Amino acid sequence: MKRALITGITGQDGRHLSQFLSTKGYQVFGLVRGQNNPKIEVVQAENPSIELVEGDLRDLSSLIAIVEQVQPDEVYNLGAISFVQLSFKQAELTAEITGLGVLRMLEAVRIVGGGENNPIRFYQASSSEMFGKVRETPQNENTPFHPRSPYGVAKVFGHYTTVNYREAYGIHASSGILFNHEGPKRGLEFVTRKVTNAVARIKLGLQDQISLGNLEAKRDWGYAGDYVEAMWRMLQQDEPDDYVVATGEAHSIRDLLETAFRIAGIDDWERFVVQDPRFYRPAEVDLLIGDASKAREKLGWEPRVSFEELVQMMYENDLKEESEKAAR
């Protein structure tokens, strides 16, 4: 039985990945931090077979102890401060966890896994946010980075640290440059879930309007359930490498609103939307659209869920959750 260690197990991707790996027959270990994190219960209920281990990406000794205890075949480093807006307000903490956390996790893998022939394979959750002020469209593995947020800067550090540990120590370390991926497990702070949740609440008469920032930004949105499979496929390759994972299709926040309201049967959506300067960012990423040809060719990966299907899935989940909550 293969053993996988996932950091960020309580996050959207950690929850999808743990379920995916369990169905592949893995024993899954998830790193959790702090006391009384309410998300731990959710994770355990979804996947009772996982084993949780306590540690923190800010604490190298805890990571070494965990890797020693778990003896993983594969480590998926998904833990991070992942909300771009928050990274502007807590830039140092973001650099600490999202940036230096990668170095610490790789150090734990290097130290515990030994020298040449290190048996542990490592996945780093890199991000399209690294492209920032994009130098070319669409973006691929060779597009230069120009991050526009403390989060993006920290991810660039994590990305190059992963490349460096691969080149310097021969670790099987791969970096997935994933474009935005969403789904019903997405946090409410991210724009897709904020929109589908608000539209469901407006439909149910529980909310009058939604406040948003920049409606013109465009993102390449896919489904998280599809994207975690690409992570796993990267670690099954003979050689470690970097891969862009994306749908190749971009939509604006305006398109997202129009689609979600249309699915809810509401046409005159503009009267429900207000723009609030609090949701604008000091520096914006205007357009992200990925070219995932390499992942398609080498990993045999491709997205299955379309933009319309994704918004529908999220809206229906929010409608169900919100009506159940209202009935209680």
Contact positions toward ligand NAP, by CB under 6 A? Answer: 7-14, 31, 33-34, 37, 39, 56-58, 78-82, 97, 125, 127, 178, 180-181, 187
Q: Binding to ligand GDD by residue 288, rule CB under 6 A?
A: yes
User: With CB under 6 A as the contact rule, which of the stretches 32-40, 108-116, 184-192, 299-307 interacts with ligand GDD?
Assistant: 184-192
DSSP-assigned beta bridge partners for residue 3: 27
Q: How far is the CB of 190 from ligand NAP (least distance, A)?
A: 7
What is the three-class DSSP state of 4?
A: strand
Amino acid identity, residue 244? V
Looking only at residues 77 through 96 of this chain, which bind ligand GDD when binding is defined by CB under 6 A?
Answer: 82, 84-85
Q: Does 253 bind ligand GDD (CB under 6 A)?
A: yes
What is the Cα gyration radius of the chain? 20
Choose the one of ligand NAP, ligand GDD, none that binds residue 134, judging by a C-beta under 5 to 8 angstroms depending on kind: none
Measured CA to CA, the distance from residue 226 to residue 236 in angstroms comes to: 16
- Max Cα separation, the chain? 62
DSSP codes, 77-137:
E--S---HHHHHHSHHHHIIIIIIHHHHHHHHHHHHH-STT---EEEEEEEGGGT-S-SSS
Side by side, the strands of the sheet bearing 51-54 are 51-54, 27-32, 3-7, 74-77, 121-127, 172-178, 242-245
Could you say whether residue 311 binds ligand GDD (CB under 6 A)?
Answer: no
Per the annotation, the verdict on 127 as an active-site residue is yes
Tell me, yes or no, if 160 is annotated catalytic. no
Q: Minimal distance in Å, beta carbon 311 to ligand GDD?
A: 13
Nearest to 121 by CA among 22, 4, 42: 4
Total number of residues that touch ligand GDD (CB under 6 A): 23
Q: Which is nearer to ligand NAP, 78 or 289 (by Cβ)?
A: 78
Q: Is 214 an interacting residue with respect to ligand GDD (CB under 6 A)?
A: yes
The verdict on 259 binding ligand GDD (CB under 6 A) reads no
The partner in contact with residue 191, picked from ligand GDD, ligand NAP, none with C-beta cut-offs of 5 to 8 angstroms by kind, is ligand GDD
Q: Does 281 bind ligand GDD (CB under 6 A)?
A: yes
- Strand residues in the chain grouped as ranges (E): 3-7, 27-32, 51-54, 74-77, 121-127, 172-178, 181-182, 210-212, 218-219, 222-223, 242-245, 251-252, 273-275
Active-site residue, 123 included: no
| Smallest gap from residue 152 Cβ to ligand GDD (A) | 8
The catalytic residue among 151, 165, 223, 315 is 151
Taking CB under 6 A as the criterion, which residues in 163-182 touch ligand GDD?
179-180
Active site residues: 127, 129, 151
